[in-house]
Amino acid sequence: MSIRSFLFITSAASLLAGCAGGSYSAGSSGPQFIIPSSYVDPDMANACIAASASKYYLPARVIKAMNTRAAGDGLTQVIMKVDLRDAVCTVDASGNVRSVVDTTPPRTAD
């Protein structure tokens, strides 16, 4: 790859990341795009991360709270990324975790 091609690719990637609201970093393994997540209350996030770590037997460092949404009746759902899975954690108004549900669709062996 020539230096001209490299500069064009990194410039285009930087421009696209800026338009999409994401950020761009050129890591040692090549360009990486980081999609911004919404604000999640730290208390809710920590409660859900602890509950998810316990349920899936994983360390808390591989679990991320990505977003929140209202679920009605004073409940809040926290959208999470648990290692390679997607999960939803439901928290009540007092901050207690009601459930952690795996929402990753089943994968086939094909």
Give the least confident one: 7-16, 34-43, 72-81, 90-99: 7-16
**pTM score, whole prediction:** 0.63
**Distance between CA 63 and CA 45 in Å, rounded?**
10
Query: For residue 36, is pLDDT > 90?
Result: no
pLDDT of residue 3: 58
Phi, psi values for residue 68, rounded to 5°: -130, 160
Listed by start position, the domains of the chain span 3-34, 42-102
**SS3 state of residue 82:** strand
Please say if the pLDDT value at position 97 is more than 90: yes
Residue 27 scores a pLDDT above 50: no
In sequence order, what DSSP letters do the residues of 17-68 get, joined into one string? HHHHT-EEEEETTEEEEEPPPPP--HHHHHHHHHHHHHHHT--GGGEEEEEE
Strands 30-34 and 23-27: antiparallel
